[in-house]
Amino acid sequence: MTQRATGSFKGWLYGSGVMLLCVWVLLPIGLIGLGAFGGRPAVYQWPKTLMPASLSLDQLAVFF
Amino acid sequence: MAAITIEGVSKRFGAAMALEQLDLNVADGEFVALLGPSGCGKTTLLRIIAGLETRSSGRVLIGDRDVSDLPPAERGLAMVFQNYAVFPHLTVFENVAFGLRMQKRDEATIRRQVNRAADLLQIGPYLDRYPAKLSGGQRQRVAVARALAVEPAVLLMDEPLSNLDALLRLEMRAELKSVLKEAGTTTLYVTHDQTEAMGLADRIAVMHKGVIEQIDTPTRIYSKPSSTFVGGFVGSPPMNFLKLEAKNGVLACEGFSMPLAHDGPVLLGFRGEDVRLVDASQGLAFAVRVVEPMGSHLLLTGQVGGERIRVVAAPQAEIASGMTLGLQLDAARVVVMDTQTGKAL
Amino acid sequence: MPTSRWLPYLLIAPASVFLAVFFAVPLVQTIVLSFDGGTAGFFGNYQRMLGDLNFNVSLRNTFMLVLTVVPLQMMLAIGMGLMLQKMQRGRDVVLWIWTIPLGVSDLAAGLVWLAILQNTGYLNTFLFHLGVIDGPTAWLNSETPVTLFIAVAVAEIWRSTAVVLVIIVAGLQLIPKEFGEAAEIFGASPWQKLTRVTLPMLKPSLQSALILRTVLAFEVFAAVYAIGGRNIPVLVGEAYVWQRDNQNYSVAAAYAVLIMVISLAATAVYLRLLREKPEARA
Amino acid sequence: MAKAQDLIFLSTQLRPIDEAQKVRDVILKGAPKTSYVVDEPSPFTVRMKAEVEANKHTISLVGALHGELQPLLPMGALEPIDDVAASLKDRGIPAGLMDLGKLGTGKQMYIPWMQATYVMVVNKKALPFLPAGADVNALTYQQLAEWGKTMNEKTGQRRLGFPAGPKGLFARFLQGNLYPSYTASMVTEFRSAEAETMWNDFKAVWAQSNPNSTSYDFMQEPLMAGEVLVAWDHIARVKDALQQAPNDYLVVAPPAGPKGRSYMPVIAGLAIAKGAPDRKGAAELIMHLTKPETQLITASEVGFFPVVNATLPANLSPGVKLLAEGVAKTQTAKDAVVALLPVGLGDKGGEFNKVYVDTFQRIVLRNEPVRATLDAQADVMRSIMAATKAPCWAPDKASEGACPVK
């Protein structure tokens, strides 16, 4: 019984560690990915919002 | 020293049952071999006893202690692995001392016990070497010495000889037997090699599909198998089975009859070396197909009725393939099995 | 059997020629260029390098970055590797996610963290909503060297831990599980199992990872440049500036040679410190 | 992308992606078919050199600053174009500018293309904080420092800004604006007592400058973000801010020191590469780019001003109009002093800039003693001058041989 209880606590600890590290890797990429659609104003937008205030595809035009 | 008691242990991997309601008692100081083909669950059982695998139900007791939920280290046992698992970065001495160091024993005790285990296994000269410089057999000795150095109540061995070549295996087998006899440790030994099991064990538990088919002394396992599986798995050549019809309390065939309290079809099992070869006119007609001279004996493969039979003849007997011989059975040395269940009647 | 004797040499010839042409020749050219002092004598370029006002700063910054980033990411990668080993389900997905930064170039990684850490970045927005700060706050200029250093270190750890992780995961997979089980049976605690069994047996992988990461860390540049501009000079950055802005290729070559010497020295130190005991080699 | 048969026009100017796009789409409209290719100054020099050495020519026309074209002359990469100059006579390019294009030879080596200078951009929000009695069009460095201090006190942030980042043109500020304003010299008086005063004054200015200044490359960005209210930069690098919100800004002349209000005109020229695959097309392209209409389009699209006699039209976009006024104010200030871009330094231009930036770093950022630093850096300057044998240029007095450092 005790072993099972500590086991599940450990499992929970492991799970949250893994999740935390996934967030650590993915969050910066997600933010820059969203930011890329904000165009130039998004760089200096304050305070930042998760979705940029003015969405545009201008930055992608660079590739064409 | 302690006995091992296993009560109703089951192990489920998803939908598959690896072990089914298994009971087993190993007496204090006894050497029991778990014998069976690969996938029969013997290693799983050993790992559950060691605490390396969780069980789905049941209890494991060592001595009087229920160790079912204890971590491996607290169960008072030691283990020898198939691939030895001798730490390559530690000297032989440190390998043997590993368990003692984990127990935080004082240096003098460690030295004494390591030396004793090393003497027992004759690895004294190699104590300062690293495992990479040792042969397979020497590494095996280190693994056993490491296990014995902690003076465990119970020793678990998982196919410890299977990575050695044939000659070395024979040598180590004899040595293991004497060392373990001297140490007097309760031992559970997993193997798929019947000769190993026969040679080493006080008792053999034959496992098949997650259950123990039979547990008995090597002699009785050999001569009185409790099922067609055991008879077929143990012994070389395997036991022969003939399909016969029992009638009116008697089981009889050409040149053979015995009383049997069972009517209907049965399987008559006999060992190839337990028959007498006689003239074709007496006994069961045996058509010899293949003759293999094995040195100590001749191995004959042929047919009785429609069934394949293997028997053993004296090495100097003049028998050639194509001959027909007579087989005479000894009622004291046969077993009778149910055709449906395959169990002894 | 002359053909079979020459065959191996024949087979490695293309690779050798490739290395010679595209690696050895430029290397020698760089070394020669670094001693091509013109008026200032044989060591003139090295004297200019040593006398430059950014030299000591960049040397110190580079070493501090290596000494901070490499141990932290080794620990992080070992932790991640052990977590992966423990996992039963979803292991592949998690490994895939954790190695995503492998595909991000160092400059892009620098820009990613710049977007987070700059004045009007996401971090400040977050702190602003928490009420910790009341407006855009600068963390990345020459007056905030500590936070600037931390930012660069974080970006480097984020970007390049995956390389170490991949090497360590491969190394862990090479250790049969019986070793850990044996340690467990003989009474080792999880920590003892890690320090007495897993890490020593992982030594070859750790050595490769350390050498690779240290050498690359001494070459740190793009991420630093993206986040800190020239506020946090590093050796490769100085080489770049001498080459591109100051247009003095000889001093840039001197920096390049210095970086190479430091990298070689670090490799030698690791090979020596982590050398397996001779008896242990099979 | 570049097609083999197109004439290749390689430029170190108008490099940023949207400016290059404007060149391709608008400025080159109606010109012979051209691929417009840009490169940074140092790879540009390397490429030109490589073409000469390999004797394999792809580039026909080059556009670069005066100082970038000059090193091409000794390597034999430029074609004399007196014939083109002759056909341009009626364009009204000032003779002084045309003379610069001879690069000290008897022949025309390049045709002036466009010009610019460095100005101060002031956000109108900063005006209330001006020191009493200060004229925003005639500031001194002390007043600038005081102004910055008031802004810092009133807004809680340091609001002056300089492009001292890796790609910023801060060295030009030190060479062309600050030094001559205090010493009437760029090189000769490098370690003079006036220079000492200058650095001490500038420390006060820097103390009120945004700490991110060492990261700024183009000042239009911090201006638009509102991070900086008063900024110095090249006109092409503030244009976006002015065009986005022309009503928010003033463009004024940079501050003055005891020796006047120095400014640095920037001249870009067009030259034909020796061995050009299409010399005729290149000459036609020069004719196109120096047409008054094209020059006006250039001014309104990219913020570089005409070298020809072309009156800016009244319907100019408000941002460009602001710039034009700023340039005019700078050039016509009654205490104006002209400081030319360095000439004759060849590939030591980078190291020359480094002397100023290093001096700034040591004195201002690292707070090293002014006198000792100036003495040490003067030695470096002397060795550069000795190595290049470059004679003095304005505002330093002409010298025989290498320009001396007193």
Query: Does the domain made of B236-338 have the CATH classification 2.40.50.140?
Result: yes
In chain D, where the domains are located: 7-116+266-315
The per-residue pLDDT for range A19-43, each reduced to its tens digit, is: 999 999 999 998 888 877 776 667 7
Of C97, C122, C158, the CB nearest to A48: C122
Closest-approach residue (CA) in chain A for D227: A44
B69 and A CB contact within 8 Å: yes
Residue C28 lies in a domain: no
Of A25, A45, A47, the CB nearest to C97: A25
Q: Given a cut of 70, is residue A13 above it in pLDDT?
A: yes
* pLDDT value of position C282: 46
Which chain B residues are closer than 8 Å to C277 by Cβ? 89, 130
Q: How many domains does chain C have?
A: 1
A5 and B CB contact within 8 Å: no
- Reported confidence tier of residue B241, pLDDT bands at 50, 70, 90: very high
CB D184 within 8 A of CB D178: no
Contact: chain D with chain B (3+ CB pairs below 8 Å): no
- Please name the amino acid found at residue C38: G
Distance between CA D232 and CA C253 in Å, rounded? 35
Which chains reach chain C with 3 or more Cβ–Cβ distances below 8 angstroms?
Answer: A, B, D
Of C142, C144, C229, the CB nearest to D166: C229
Q: What is the mean pLDDT of residues B183-187?
A: 90
Distance between CA C163 and CA C77 in Å, rounded? 9
Closest-approach residue (CA) in chain D for A46: D225
Closest-approach residue (CA) in chain C for A46: C120
Q: What is the mean pLDDT of residues D128-135?
A: 93
What is the DSSP code (8-state) at residue D169? Answer: -
Q: Which structural domain, as residue segments, surrounds residue A27?
A: 3-63
Distance between CA B185 and CA B32 in Å, rounded? 11
Q: Which two tokens stand for residue D198?
A: 């200058």
Distance between CA C199 and CA C194 in Å, rounded? 6
Which chain A residues are closer than 8 Å to B51 by Cβ? none
Mutate to test the interface with C, among B67, B98, B126 (most CBs of C within 10 A): B98
Closest-approach residue (CA) in chain C for B103: C187
Residue C245 lies in a domain: yes
Locus of tokens 């008559």: B268
Question: What is the least distance, in Å, from the CA of A37 to any CA of chain D?
Answer: 17
* pLDDT value of position C3: 65
Residues 95-154 of B with CB under 8 A from C: 98-99, 102-103, 129-130, 132-133, 146, 150
> Who's near D187: CB < 8 A, 6+ residues apart?
D381, D385, D392, D396, D403, D404, D405
The per-residue pLDDT for range C168-222, each reduced to its tens digit, is: 999 999 999 999 999 999 999 999 999 999 999 999 899 999 999 999 999 999 9
Which chain B residues are closer than 8 Å to C184 by Cβ? 51-52, 71-73
The per-residue pLDDT for range D9-23, each reduced to its tens digit, is: 999 999 888 889 999
Q: What percent of chain D has pLDDT over 70?
A: 99
Q: Across A50-59, D60-69, D118-127, D300-309, which has the greatest mean pLDDT?
A: D118-127
* pLDDT value of position B186: 94
On average, the pLDDT of chain D sits at 90
The per-residue pLDDT for range D161-198, each reduced to its tens digit, is: 999 998 899 999 999 999 999 999 999 999 999 999 99
Q: What percent of chain B has pLDDT over 70?
A: 100
Other C-beta atoms closer than 10 Å to the C-beta of B16 total 8
Class of domain D7-116+266-315: alpha beta
Q: What is the mean pLDDT of residues A38-63?
A: 69
* pLDDT value of position D151: 95
The per-residue pLDDT for range B133-172, each reduced to its tens digit, is: 899 889 999 999 999 999 999 999 999 988 888 888 888 8
CB D208 within 8 A of CB D146: no
- Whole-angstrom CA distances from B334 to B105, B222, B233, D98, D155 are 56, 11, 16, 123, 108
> Who's near C9: CB < 8 A, 6+ residues apart?
none
Closest-approach residue (CA) in chain C for A44: C120
A31 and C CB contact within 8 Å: yes
Q: Which structural domain, as residue segments, surrounds residue C195?
A: 43-275
Contact: chain A with chain D (3+ CB pairs below 8 Å): yes
Q: Which two tokens stand for residue B298?
A: 């001749």
Contact: chain C with chain B (3+ CB pairs below 8 Å): yes
Q: ∠ at Cα D286 (D98, D53), nearest 5°?
A: 90
Q: Given a cut of 90, is residue A64 above it in pLDDT?
A: no
Other C-beta atoms closer than 10 Å to the C-beta of A48 total 26
Residue C98 lies in a domain: yes
* pLDDT value of position B58: 93
CB C99 within 8 A of CB A23: no
Q: Kindly calculate the radius of gyration of chain B based on its CA atoms and give it in whole angstroms.
A: 24
* pLDDT value of position A63: 62
Q: How many domains does chain A have?
A: 1
- CB–CB of D214 and C231 under 8 A? yes
Q: What is the mean pLDDT of residues D335-353?
A: 85
Distance between CA C76 and CA A21 in Å, rounded? 10
B171 and A CB contact within 8 Å: no
Burial of B306 (0-12, 13-18, 19+ CB in 10 A): exposed
Locus of tokens 């001194």: D140
- CB–CB of C116 and A28 under 8 A? yes
D225 and A CB contact within 8 Å: yes
Report pTM: 0.84
Task: Name the CATH architecture for the domain at B4-226.
Answer: 3-Layer(aba) Sandwich (3.40)
- CB–CB of D348 and C245 under 8 A? no
What is the DSSP code (8-state) at residue B326? Answer: E
C187 and B CB contact within 8 Å: yes
Closest-approach residue (CA) in chain A for D16: A62
Question: What is the least distance, in Å, from the CA of A12 to any CA of chain B?
Answer: 19
State CA B147 to chain mean position distance: 21
On average, the pLDDT of chain C sits at 89
The per-residue pLDDT for range B13-66, each reduced to its tens digit, is: 888 888 999 999 999 999 999 999 988 999 999 999 999 999 999 999 999 899
Question: What is the least distance, in Å, from the CA of A28 to any CA of chain D?
Answer: 22
Of D17, D221, D226, the CB nearest to A62: D17
- CB–CB of C230 and D214 under 8 A? yes
More confident residue, A48 or C270: C270
Which chains reach chain D with 3 or more Cβ–Cβ distances below 8 angstroms?
Answer: A, C
* pLDDT value of position A1: 34
CA dihedral C204, C208, C210, C214 (to 10 degrees): 160
Question: What is the least distance, in Å, from the CA of C90 to any CA of chain A?
Answer: 11
A39 and C CB contact within 8 Å: no
B66 and A CB contact within 8 Å: no
Closest-approach residue (CA) in chain C for D207: C143
The per-residue pLDDT for range C228-263, each reduced to its tens digit, is: 888 999 999 999 999 888 888 889 999 999 999 999
Closest-approach residue (CA) in chain B for C197: B87
* pLDDT value of position A45: 75
Of C186, C201, C281, the CB nearest to B98: C186
Q: What is the CATH number of the domain that holds C229?
A: 1.10.3720.10
Which chains reach chain A with 3 or more Cβ–Cβ distances below 8 angstroms?
Answer: B, C, D
Of A14, A29, A47, the CB nearest to C112: A29
Q: What is the mean pLDDT of residues B174-189?
A: 89
* pLDDT value of position A3: 44
Which chain B residues are closer than 8 Å to A1 by Cβ? 69
Of B82, B88, B102, the CB nearest to C187: B102
C278 and B CB contact within 8 Å: no
- Reported confidence tier of residue D1, pLDDT bands at 50, 70, 90: very low
CB B72 within 8 A of CB B51: yes
Of C83, C111, C136, the CB nearest to A17: C83
Type and span of the H or E element at C50? helix C44-51
Mutate to test the interface with D, among C146, C230, C241 (most CBs of D within 10 A): C230
- Reported confidence tier of residue C280, pLDDT bands at 50, 70, 90: low
Three-state DSSP string of chain B: CCCEEEEEEEEEECCEEEEEEEEEEECCCCEEEEECCCCCCHHHHHHHHHCCCCCCEEEEEECCEECCCCCHHHHCEEEECCCCCCCCCCCHHHHHHHHHHHCCCCHHHHHHHHHHHHHHCCCHHHCCCCHHHCCHHHHHHHHHHHHHHCCCCEEEEECCCCCCCHHHHHHHHHHHHHHHHHHCCEEEEEECCHHHHHHHCCEEEEEECCEEEEEECHHHHHHCCCEHHHHHHCCCCCCEEEEEEEECCEEEECCEEEECCCCEEEEEEECHHHCEEECCCCCEEEEEEEEEECCCCEEEEEEECCEEEEEEECCCCCCCCCCEEEEECCHHHEEEEECCCCEEC
Which chain D residues are closer than 8 Å to C138 by Cβ? 211-212
* pLDDT value of position A60: 63
Q: Given a cut of 90, is residue D46 above it in pLDDT?
A: no
- Reported confidence tier of residue C120, pLDDT bands at 50, 70, 90: confident
Rounded to 5 degrees, φ, ψ at B139 are -65, -40
Contact: chain D with chain C (3+ CB pairs below 8 Å): yes
Which chain C residues are closer than 8 Å to A30 by Cβ? none
Q: What is the mean pLDDT of residues D96-115?
A: 88
Q: What is the mean pLDDT of residues B183-192?
A: 92
Distance spanning both ends of chain A, measured CA to CA: 64
* pLDDT value of position B282: 84
Q: ∠ at Cα D404 (D399, D406), nearest 5°?
A: 130
The per-residue pLDDT for range D55-95, each reduced to its tens digit, is: 999 999 999 998 889 888 888 899 999 999 999 888 888 88
- CB–CB of D211 and C120 under 8 A? no
* pLDDT value of position A58: 64
Question: What is the least distance, in Å, from the CA of A31 to any CA of chain B?
Answer: 41
